[in-house]
Structure formats: C-alpha cells, structure tokens
Amino acid sequence: MSRNAESTAFRSALEVIRAVEPRVADAIGAELTDQRESLKLIASENYASPATLLAMGNWFSDKYAEGTVGRRFYAGCQNVDTVEALAAEHARELFGAAHAYVQPHSGIDANLVAFWAVLADRVESPALKKAQVRQVNDLTEADWFALRRELGNQRMLGMSLDAGGHLTHGFRPNISGKMFDQRSYGTDPATGLIDYDRVAEAAREFKPLILVGGYSAYPRKVNFRILREIADSVGATFMVDMAHFAGLVAGKVFTGDFDPVPHAHIVTTTTHKSLRGPRGGMVLCQPELADQVDRGCPMVLGGPLPHVMAAKAVALAEARRPDFADYAQRIVDNANALAEGLLRRGATLVTGGTDNHLVLIDVSGYGLTGRQAEQALLDSGIVTNRNSVPQDPNGAWYTSGIRIGTPALTTRGLGTAEMDQTAELIHTVLTQTTAGANADGTPSKAKYALDAGLADKVARQATDLLATYPLYPGIDLS
C-alpha cells in the first residue's frame, strides 16, 4: 500500500466517525499521537500494520458465524469461511501445526478452549448438570470440589505468578482457578531459572491432568522437550501458552527444544504481542484434539469475530514473509542490548539477563516499588508495567519489579544503540525517583517524588530518540 493510500484510508475513516461522534474520532487521533511520542516498552504490546488495522474495519463485523468452516449455524457465511480458512492455513504453515483454530477473541478465551477440549472426554456428571442451572458465582468451595471429583482428575500444574506465570493458568481470580485444583512450580531462588528436576518432582507428587508451560514475565527460554517428558511420565496433557513469545517461534528464533509446537499436545497464543497482529487468540493442537477445539464456539466462546479473523489472516500472512524472521531476531538482539545497558548501569535483573523479548527489573535496588517506578517512568514518557518478581515482598499489586520488552520499539526500527540510550533514560529516572510517605509518616508503596523538570527533560529525550523512527510514517491525519 502506498503512503498516500494509507493516509487517505485513515483520514477518510476518521471523517466518517467524526460526523457521528467527534469525541471518538478525537480519541483515536490522540492515541496515535501518544503512541508516536512515547517509548513503548510494555512487553505485551506492539504495532499492527496498516493492512491489519484496516482489515478490522469492514462489513465482516456485521455477520454472525457460529460454528466452523463449512458447518455454520447461520446462512450466508461463505465469505467468513474464506477468511477463517485462510487464517487457519497461514497459522498451520507458519508454526508447523497439525490444526489451527483462529476464533478465540483473546488469550484467555484461547486457554479456556484448550482447557475444555482436554476435559471434553470426561464423563458428563450429575453434579455438572446440577451446576448448570445455578449461578456460577453461587457455587461454594464444596460445590467446586464435587464438580472436580465428578469430572475426574481435574488438576493443573503451572508456573507460579511471581515466577512469571499467568492468571489463566489456574489461579483463583480467573475461572481456571475454579475449574482446576492448581499447584505451581516456581524458579530456583538463587538463579531465577526453572528447575526442571523440581517440576518433575511436583508432577510426580501432584499427578496433574494438565501440565502448563509458558509465561508472561519469565525472561529466558523454556525447554519444552523436557516438560513434555515430564508430562508423559505422569500421563498429563502438555499445554503451552506461548502468547508472549509466539513471534519468536514464528520467526524461527526459538527452534528445536525451545519451539513448543512439536512437543505440546495443545498450544495457545494471542495474535498480537510479538506476533504483531490484531488483538485476539488462537489454538494450535494435535489431530486428536482438533474436533474438541473446534467446538470452542459455543462451548466457551461467543459468536466469532469475522472482521478480526480477517485481520489475523493478514497478520499471519505478513509473518510468513522472510523479513519477519529478521524482525524476530532483532527483538531478541534489542532485548539483550537493553539488558546489558541496564546491567552496566547497576540495575538488578531477574535471572541476570534475557533470552527472549523481555527484561524484568527488580526496582527494590532503587528503593522503589514497581508501582512507584511505573508511574515515574510514565511521567517521563516511558511506558512500562509493574510486575512481580520471584518471592515478591510487595505482592501482585504494588510489586517490586518493572517488566519491559522490545517488540514495539523493534517494529519502529530502533536498534541496539538506541536500546543502550533507552537503558540510560530508564536508569536516570529510577535513580532520581524517591519513595514517598503517607500522611502519618509511614512509608508509602505508591507515592513518590520526581523533579518535574527532570521528567520533562527525559520525555523530550525520549521523543528525540523516536524522531528518527517515526511510527506509521505513511499515515498523515492532518
């Protein structure tokens, strides 16, 4: 697409929106401005291509399409069949998967599809039938325990939250924590790395139905061959959530033992993050689980979003191009440069570095909580998110860490030299931020002090750093 065509497409879209609700048009334009001017270091965010973005704004949004390709509960789905089949084809070819299901609306939805697909061969129980006529929120712990017993060995073993796991891997705030009796494996306290012998020991003791691999804040590679061997040793289904690092798998940066697709029974992912597509989810699986996975709607999903599936097809087609492999490698190169720059300046990093797209800073060395550091950086034009570190004394809300990642800045074209400059900006802000106090004089985990002049200076430096690497250079909304 020519730059003139991109500008025309987005300007025209905003004109149409503005005629109905100008405040929405203004917010869309402001979001582009904010993203152009900020150092986006949130590890789970990226920038989708103009083609991917435009694929979501069309008449597919008007179509119901429950079911799967060729087997719909609504008539007139031939064009939806086309885009869903294309997205699934691209996914299979890109990841070397036997089967791909591209309907999930998010990563959480993809995980729910996977969980229920694994459970689908369990007997339908009287307890489950009884529960279906009650409000889920009214079920007691005893009710959930009875359901799990009726459904068989409904146990899940996954990475702990403070070690880098995800809420959807069996933790109580998520429905997976109600579905499963969950136990966690952590990391070695000395190194922060997964101890596979301890995982095997936990599996032998707990005997889970599902062993989950994958993470949201673990900065190293995972050996999926070893985890599959552990799963097989206890008769567990091996599931991998690769939402964060799917782009590194697609770009063939993670291969062999570090590519989950050949080793897992079932793999889930988002389609944004390092994969650089639209916000959504996807499930890849072995043939024996395909029929159950394809029942995701209406099992746990609402009607498919055909306009998003169209965008997934576009993004997955982009990921199959040779330049995507170069992009994926540069993500990792940039993350290493960012980690090295922080280490040289005295920062403490969980595991001492990174093998993937993310870096986890323990900000307690700066005398700060994650919440204080996150806000101070945001004041300075650097967008990050707070995150727990292993054995975090501040819990999951205030935290002791900051998670940063390189997919978005790599998309903009920044390289290793710019990562070192970014490390300097981060270090400057954190060293100049001090923890605040509550009204009664006790230490606060949220309040902080940072000179406004310094914050403005760093924000200007961040903007100057980005000026050479414009975001969506082909789009001019003026």
Sheet hosting strand 237-241, strand order edge to edge: 99-101, 281-285, 266-270, 237-241, 210-214, 155-159, 181-185
Nearest to 215 by CA among 260, 175, 182: 260
Pair 473, 5: CB distance under 8 Å: no
Pair 220, 169: CB distance under 8 Å: no
Neighbours of 141 (CB within 10 A): 8
Please tell me what DSSP assigns to residue 49.
-
Helix (H, G, I), strand (E, B) or coil at 156: strand
To the query of whether residue 66 is one of the catalytic residues in this protein, the response is yes
Q: Which position among 6, 84, 150, 241 bears the catalytic label?
A: 241
Pair 47, 412: CB distance under 8 Å: yes
To the query of whether residue 241 is one of the catalytic residues in this protein, the response is yes
Q: Which position among 18, 37, 45, 66 bears the catalytic label?
A: 66
To the query of whether residue 270 is one of the catalytic residues in this protein, the response is yes
Q: Which position among 187, 268, 269, 270 bears the catalytic label?
A: 270
Q: Report the alpha-carbon distance of residue 222 to residue 261 in Å, rounded.
A: 13
Strand partners, 262: none
To the query of whether residue 64 is one of the catalytic residues in this protein, the response is yes
Q: Which position among 36, 40, 148, 279 bears the catalytic label?
A: 279
Query: What tokens does 299 get?
Result: 């099992």
Positive or negative: CA dihedral 215, 231, 211, 266:
positive
How wide is the angle at C-alpha 32 spanned by C-alphas 28 and 34, nearest 5°? 110
Alpha-carbon dihedral 292, 103, 243, 184, rounded to 10 degrees? -40
Query: What tokens does 319 get?
Result: 């990921």
Residues 10-39, buried b or exposed e (16+ Cβ, 10 A)? Answer: beebbeebeeeeeeebeeebeeeeebbebb
Task: Tell me the C-alpha to C-alpha distance, in Å, between residue 122 and each of 111, 212, 262, 294, 359.
Answer: 18, 19, 25, 17, 40
Query: What tokens does 123 get?
Result: 């007997």
- Tokens 């705030």 correspond to 173
The dihedrals phi and psi of 345, each to the nearest 5 degrees, come to -95, 5
Q: Which position among 64, 82, 89, 122 bears the catalytic label?
A: 64
Q: Which position among 148, 228, 273, 330 bears the catalytic label?
A: 273
**Catalytic sites, residue numbers:** 64, 66, 241, 270, 273, 279
